[in-house]
Structure 1
């Protein structure tokens, strides 16, 4: 069941970055500017950021099959619309519909995994999830570069369509409902504020990278942050006397909060480097999109193939054994990219990219598992919703930050009389340098993570269990994966059947 959801999620998330290499083709085919063409990727991220906050509430109200049907059905409709789009406006609408389906699949996968997989096996299974949530965006540009060699940008959707349709039909035959549905009302004010806040923040950050619209982008991003603050206060109020759209009690669990911070910085550096490296290879070294895709593909494949192995290692050794070396590897790889030049050997670029992807694999899988495992079951859907939303914001922030730093440095160098291409290389070096400094923060966070979540008999796990128990008590919940065992009363213990029922309930 989890493998099926991983496959479906991989297919839909791949489309988040698959259009990056198609920008020149879109400009030529639809007679649009580069800034307009960029919206096929920006609108996807924007929609994801606006829709994912609602999924925590949504997944508690519908069955697993209903959520899967809606997610994949919506994605298929968006793919068809995009493939036959006669104008850019129709293509953009198709991408928005695609993103709406993708936004449901990510939290559905995480919530289902945490529900059906025993705690002792979650690391192994979460390694497969890494393939979908981390490797798919990394492979998007490489896959699109290969497909575009065969013809039009429409092939990007034509190729995906039968694969997605096959996965959908197979899933409807095999997928089973898990968990129990909860009936609750929705606060439409929270829905609107969340869409304006998270969507506005992602949109504003996407404009920051454009020098002529940087001031507008900063203004929109600030307004988005203000709306998010209003959203947060609203959720805190609803937690006391209503049903929150996004339950912020998840942030009371220290391990989950640390995992969020590490994941955010990890995605920021990964997406930032994904933006800078193709620019360097194509604009400076003159490689084609296909050659660029083939050069960076081994790193993405290594990241995916190592996911299950890293998961098994996490189940056996715990988190810090993997996350600390992984965080150091990320920083070292990004620091290595600060030394790129006009004639840096390709093997060196490939080696650094492999190191970066392998280090991200060693970091993401344990952190996913550790963070979600620290939550009680009734908060799984909200935790996956927060994680997915933060992933989109971090991706937008990382892209905006790297492009802004590179552009500012390039402009400064040209003003000093440096030739345009060397000036751009200097800007890329500084961008990678900023990412390397941020990666140092992940090392500090990794050292604070517990070795395991509650349920283990290690000292770290005991401390984490106490913290999680306190958080559960504060939230008014006395049950969950990490709550302390509930003792069976004496009468229950005398009756084996009654004792079994009481234990299961506990």
Structure 2
């Protein structure tokens, strides 16, 4: 599961570095090429919310094998793709595989590990979830420097096949099937709701010529449809005996606080991870590969430290880890708000390392502590809610960050004496980047306030299936 999850999430970001050369090779514009990313996110936003239902209808082996077959088919089609349309279809197949695998991975950890050992196990998932997408641009940059873009997929394919063979040989069925009633209206509302929000924010937050912008009718309509559908979906779930996504998980306070921290953390992290490479390439004029290498040490440390933080969580609980992590993130983001073109590269590398270490102190402890409070029957719903809101947080965070960057840049140019000069353009872009990091800093401070309320879930209370644990 960890191996296939790593390759699936690596594939999610590996193509990002290749988007610019792909426009020329496939003869499409920036608005069209952006669908390789938007389409992937859209499938995740639609499928992950119903994963709670799938986990109760199909066995562990059935879901794992189906996930791997979609991933293998998507990777093979992408490796052979002669056209944009074929590559987009391949990305959709890959996204289906990832959308099925991620909630299954979380649910399996919750079922097979006792609560006192769960932190270390979730830390291994943290290594996969954080390091795999972070390493994607760097590894694909190295591939593109020596081989064609098809090799991004050819290199991934054997690992999926190995995972499938191992799964068929060794993976047992550990899930408890309850086969609740399938409510088609709830699934339709979930699809319109989460799909509309992810697509709306992704379109609004596009940068370059492909940007949708907040005033675009498509963005306004999709966001409005998404919000209204989600409201109706939530009301319907609360009134059903067997909901598709059981929102009664929110009556468990540590789950809700953990969810808030994860949501804020993902918005903060993904907005920063978009803005910083943009600044490195456009502001400091370094190559995509060099930008990837600048971000690699922090991402590598984050992945390696996730299991360590998991073990520390098992021993000491989440409180001091999460609060300390939020303090460090806030301090780093404050320093990011003061970056200039003259800021040395080593300083940016150091800041990124500290930020990624702090993120490893927050993400898995908050997530594990929150899920620990849920009774077993809520595991599929809890993992579905957490994974869905991570996708939504990513779309919202990046859209708002890019919009704030553009607004800050425009505001600077409107007051500049010579807005056309290269020096003024660089200063304007730097000002926009600083404003975007101020937004991330505000998120971190809100997260710090939430972290003050986190408390360790007591193991003895896990057996109480009747109501919330205080």
Q: TM-score range by the shorter chain?
A: over 0.9
Query: In the alignment, which residue of structure 2 is the partner of 1:84?
Result: 80
* Structure 1 position 434 matched with structure 2 position 439: yes
* Structure 1 position 229 matched with structure 2 position 237: no
1:20-66 deviation per Cα after TM superposition (whole angstroms, max 9, x unaligned): 11111111111111121111111111110100111101111111111
Count of residue pairs brought into register by the alignment: 458
Query: In the alignment, which residue of structure 2 is the partner of 1:461?
Result: none
* Structure 1 position 7 matched with structure 2 position 12: no
What pairs with 1:1-400 in structure 2 (closer than 5 Å)?
5-210=1-206, 213-216=213-216, 217-239=219-241, 243-400=242-399
TM-superposed CA distance for 1:295, in Å, is 1.0
TM-superposed CA distance for 1:212, in Å, is 5.2
Whether the aligned pair in 1 keeps the contact of 2:332 and 2:355 (CA below 8 Å) is yes
Relative to the length of structure 1, the TM-score reads: 0.88
Q: Distance in 2 between matches of 1:76 and 1:375?
A: 34
Q: Which has the higher contact order (CA 8 A, sep 6+)?
A: 2
Consecutive unaligned residues in structure 1, runs of 5 or more? 457-464, 476-481, 484-506
1:163-217 deviation per Cα after TM superposition (whole angstroms, max 9, x unaligned): 2212221222121111322223211111111111101101100122256542232
Q: Distance in 1 between matches of 2:232 and 2:135?
A: 36
1:376-430 deviation per Cα after TM superposition (whole angstroms, max 9, x unaligned): 0011011100011000000001110110000111122222224222111110011
SS of match in other structure, 1:149: helix
Q: Distance in 2 between matches of 1:359 and 1:73?
A: 36
Q: Distance in 2 between matches of 1:356 and 1:301?
A: 12
SS of match in other structure, 1:79: helix
Q: Distance in 2 between matches of 1:203 and 1:183?
A: 31
Q: Distance in 2 between matches of 1:422 and 1:376?
A: 53
Q: Distance in 1 between matches of 2:224 and 2:347?
A: 40
1:246-288 deviation per Cα after TM superposition (whole angstroms, max 9, x unaligned): 1111111111011100000101111001110111111111111
SS of match in other structure, 2:248: helix
SS of match in other structure, 2:176: coil
Q: Distance in 2 between matches of 1:218 and 1:349?
A: 36
Q: Greater Rg, structure 1 or structure 2?
A: 1
Relative to the length of structure 2, the TM-score reads: 0.94
1:98-118 deviation per Cα after TM superposition (whole angstroms, max 9, x unaligned): 101100111101101000001
Whether the aligned pair in 1 keeps the contact of 2:237 and 2:245 (CA below 8 Å) is yes
Whether the aligned pair in 2 keeps the contact of 1:25 and 1:152 (CA below 8 Å) is no
Q: CA RMSD in A?
A: 1.7
Whether the aligned pair in 2 keeps the contact of 1:146 and 1:293 (CA below 8 Å) is no
Query: In the alignment, which residue of structure 2 is the partner of 1:493?
Result: none
Q: Distance in 1 between matches of 2:448 and 2:213?
A: 35
Consecutive unaligned residues in structure 2, runs of 5 or more? none
Q: Distance in 1 between matches of 2:183 and 2:402?
A: 37
Q: Distance in 2 between matches of 1:212 and 1:314?
A: 42
Q: Distance in 1 between matches of 2:432 and 2:414?
A: 13
